[in-house]
Amino acid sequence: MRVKVKKPILVAGIAISFLLWLGESLHEEVIAIGEWGVVSLMAIGTGVWWWQEKQPQKPISQTISPLTITEVNQAIADGQKILKIVKQENPKYNLSSLETQLGKLPEKLNNQAVSLGLIGNSIPEKSSLKQLLNKEKNYINIQWLEEDNTEKTHQRIDLIIFLVSTDLTQSQWQTIQQCHRNHQRCLISLNQLEQYNLEEQEIILQQIKQRVQTIIPPHDVIPINSSPKTLKVRQYKEDNSYQEWTEIQPPQIVSLTSRLDSILSQEREQLIWGKVWREAQDIKQQGKEILNAIRRDRALPMMEKYQWIAAAAAFANPVSSLDLLATAAINAQMVVDLSGIYQQKFTLSQGQAVSGTIGKLMIKLGLVELSTHAISSLLKSNAITYVAGGATQAISAAYLTRVAGLSLIEYFQEQEINSHSDQSFNIEQLSTKIKQVFEQTRRTEILQGFVKQTLPKLS
Note whether 415 and 393 are within 8 A (CB).
no
Torsion angles phi and psi, residue 374, rounded to 5: -65, -45
Query: What is the pLDDT at residue 29?
Result: 39
Contact 352, 44 (CB under 8 A): yes
Pairwise CA distance, residues 67 & 272, whole Å: 10
pLDDT of residue 296: 96
What counts of helices (H) and strands (E) characterise the chain?
18, 7
The two beta strands, 142-144 and 114-119, are: parallel
CB neighbourhood size of 394 (10 A): 27
Q: Which of 52, 46, 49, 20 is nearest to 34 (CA)?
A: 20
**The predicted structure's pLDDT at residue 34:** 40
Residue spans per domain, the chain:
8-47+317-458, 113-272
pLDDT for res 133: 86
359, 353, 364, 368: which is closest to 46 by C-alpha?
A: 353
The structure's pTM equals 0.76
The answer to whether residues 158 and 264 touch, using CB atoms and an 8 Å cutoff, is: no
Cα–Cα dist 284/80, whole Å: 8
pLDDT in tens, the chain (459 residues): 555 555 544 544 444 444 444 444 434 433 333 433 433 433 334 343 333 444 444 333 367 889 999 999 999 999 999 999 999 999 999 999 999 999 999 999 998 889 998 888 778 888 888 888 887 766 656 777 755 556 676 788 999 999 998 889 898 899 999 999 999 999 999 987 667 777 888 899 999 999 999 999 999 999 998 877 776 777 777 878 878 877 777 788 899 999 999 999 999 999 999 999 999 999 999 999 999 999 999 999 999 999 999 888 888 775 555 556 777 788 899 999 999 999 888 888 889 889 888 888 888 888 888 888 888 777 776 544 544 556 888 888 889 999 999 999 999 999 887 544 455 678 889 899 999 999 988 888 888 888 888 888 776
Opening angle at CA 216, ends 211 and 219, nearest 5: 100
Q: What is the pLDDT of residue 99?
A: 97
The secondary structure of residue 234, as a DSSP letter, is: E
pLDDT for 28 equals 42
The SS3 assignment for 310 reads helix
Tell me how far apart the alpha carbons of residues 220 and 62 are, in angstroms, rounded to a whole number: 17
| Superfamily per CATH, domain 113-272 | P-loop containing nucleotide triphosphate hydrolases (3.40.50.300)
Question: What is the pLDDT at residue 52?
Answer: 42
